[in-house]
């Protein structure tokens, strides 16, 4: 199966996303084709580097990676400061390249460091998780968390190249793989009923890491995101659709100090909450709501939320970066395959949605 190339439009310059089994082994040639002719500083995390680091020996010139912690708790300004030190030690200058080799956390943190070190150096994303391959590695949004909320310190810094190799997903723990699938569900809800139905009908092959099932799945998500980002890179309008499920999801992560949920798990709850409001407003049918809820539940267990308070979630939502001029921009589903962004979701509607996903209200 030949690699799939998708070009993403960006303010700075278009950049390619290359999806295919084995593209990691061809990384040096892809770098060369895009004029990325310097040895990059690779940023990774210990589990990824231990499993796959030797596959980048040629690209890195034999140098070891700058390693950061794994998981949302590593998405801090302190981690970024340590990366600055690593860049200085490796004599990274303004013509240099940072290559993020890991999941969404590595991509976000390395990307933010690349965006702000020397006012910006070139960035390459080599995502190693399903969630990063279908979502976070594309679009140029990078950042870190603050105690008050997720991704409150960030920047737009488009990569020069994204390499997605689904073969890397074979080493993911099932829970981590499933976390990425929830983002695939999101793309089906916001843009493609066909994708939603194919995911629901092919879960066995997908969970078995069947490459012929995975490559088209990843590629379709990348195409959807590339199209949306190409129209609205800085999230002034259409790109808000990508936040479906994220308002409540980010709040759940924040109130549990990023310790309980994988990102996709929190988004799964957030999607059900948003869909509950959508159905109550008549934007989607009860059957469509049930189809979404059933798919999420069928994919596997989610962490319990019955001990969490809906009021705490509502408080966290007030700090969400999607609050503009005091109004929360909330993404609802218009059936399965499209969205509507509204600014009039009430606390009563949110409370009902919290109860629907099992929180105490």
Q: Is 260 helix (H, G, I), strand (E, B) or coil?
A: coil
pLDDT tens column, 98-137: 999 999 999 999 999 999 999 999 999 999 999 999 999 9
In terms of domains, do 150 and 240 share one?
no
Give the CATH number for residue 71. Answer: 3.40.50.1970
pTM of the model: 0.94
pLDDT value for 344: 95
In terms of domains, do 42 and 147 share one?
yes
The residue from 129, 150, 171 where one domain ends is 171
Q: What range defines the domain where residue 48 resides? A: 4-171
Judge whether 98 lies within some domain: yes
In terms of domains, do 151 and 223 share one?
no
Judge whether 361 lies within some domain: no
209 is catalytic: no
Count of domains in the chain?
2
- Annotated active-site residue in 82, 246, 262, 329: 246
Judge whether 11 lies within some domain: yes
178 is catalytic: no
The residue from 137, 152, 171 where one domain ends is 171
pLDDT value for 321: 59
- Annotated active-site residue in 11, 54, 91, 119: 119
The residue from 155, 171, 187 where one domain ends is 171
DSSP 13-46: --EEEEE-TTGGGGHHHHHHHTT--SPPEEEE-H
Judge whether 18 lies within some domain: yes
243 is catalytic: yes
Cβ 124 vs Cβ 163: under 8 Å: yes
In terms of domains, do 71 and 220 share one?
no
pLDDT value for 361: 82
pLDDT tens column, 226-276: 999 999 888 878 899 999 999 999 999 999 999 999 999 999 999 999 999
Cβ 341 vs Cβ 241: under 8 Å: yes
- Annotated active-site residue in 157, 220, 223, 243: 243
Give the CATH number for residue 258. Answer: 1.20.1090.10
- Annotated active-site residue in 72, 220, 235, 265: 235
- The list of the chain residues with pLDDT below 50 reads none
Contacts of 277 (CB under 8 A, 6+ apart): 330, 332, 345, 349, 350, 352, 353
Q: Is 302 helix (H, G, I), strand (E, B) or coil?
A: coil
290 is catalytic: no
In terms of domains, do 117 and 237 share one?
no
- Phi, psi dihedrals of residue 99, rounded to the nearest 5°: -115, 115
141 is catalytic: yes
225 is catalytic: yes
Helix, strand, coil share (%) of the chain residues, nearest 5: 55, 15, 30
């Amino acid at each position: 199966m030949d690699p799939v190339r998708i070009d993403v439009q960006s303010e700075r310059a278009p950049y390619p996303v290359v999806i295919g089994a084995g593209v990691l082994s061809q990384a040096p040639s892809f770098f060369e084709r895009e004029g990325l002719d310097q040895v990059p500083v690779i940023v990774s995390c210990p589990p990824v580097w231990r499993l796959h680091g030797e596959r980048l020996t040629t690209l890195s010139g034999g140098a070891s990676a700058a390693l950061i912690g794994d998981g949302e708790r590593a998405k801090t300004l302190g981690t970024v400061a340590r990366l600055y030190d690593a860049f200085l030690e490796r004599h990274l200058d303004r013509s240099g390249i940072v290559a993020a080799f890991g999941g969404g956390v590595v991509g976000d943190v390395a990307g933010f460091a690349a965006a702000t070190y020397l006012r910006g150096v070139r960035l390459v994303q080599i995502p190693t998780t399903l969630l990063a391959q279908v979502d976070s590695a594309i679009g140029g949004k990078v950042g870190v968390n603050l105690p008050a909320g997720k991704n409150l310190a960030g920047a737009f810094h488009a990569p020069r190249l994204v390499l997605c190799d689904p073969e890397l997903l074979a080493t993911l723990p099932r829970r981590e793989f499933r976390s990425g699938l929830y983002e695939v569900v999101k793309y089906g809800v916001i843009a493609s009923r066909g994708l939603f139905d194919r995911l629901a009908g092919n879960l066995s092959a997908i969970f078995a890491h069947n490459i012929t099932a995975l490559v088209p799945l990843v590629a379709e998500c990348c195409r959807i995101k590339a199209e949306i980002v190409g129209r609205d890179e800085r999230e002034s309008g259409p790109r808000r659709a990508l936040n479906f499920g994220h308002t409540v999801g980010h709040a759940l992560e924040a109130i549990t100090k990023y310790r309980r949920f994988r990102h996709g798990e929190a988004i799964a709850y957030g999607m059900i909450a948003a869909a509950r409001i959508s159905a109550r407003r008549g934007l989607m049918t009860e059957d469509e709501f049930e189809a979404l809820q059933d798919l999420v539940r069928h994919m596997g267990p989610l962490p319990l939320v019955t001990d969490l308070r809906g009021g705490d979630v509502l408080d966290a939502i007030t700090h969400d970066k999607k609050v503009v001029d005091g109004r929360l921009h909330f993404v609802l589903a218009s059936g399965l395959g499209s969205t509507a962004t509204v600014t009039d979701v009430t606390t009563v509607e949110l409370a009902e949605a919290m109860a629907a996903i099992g929180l105490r209200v």
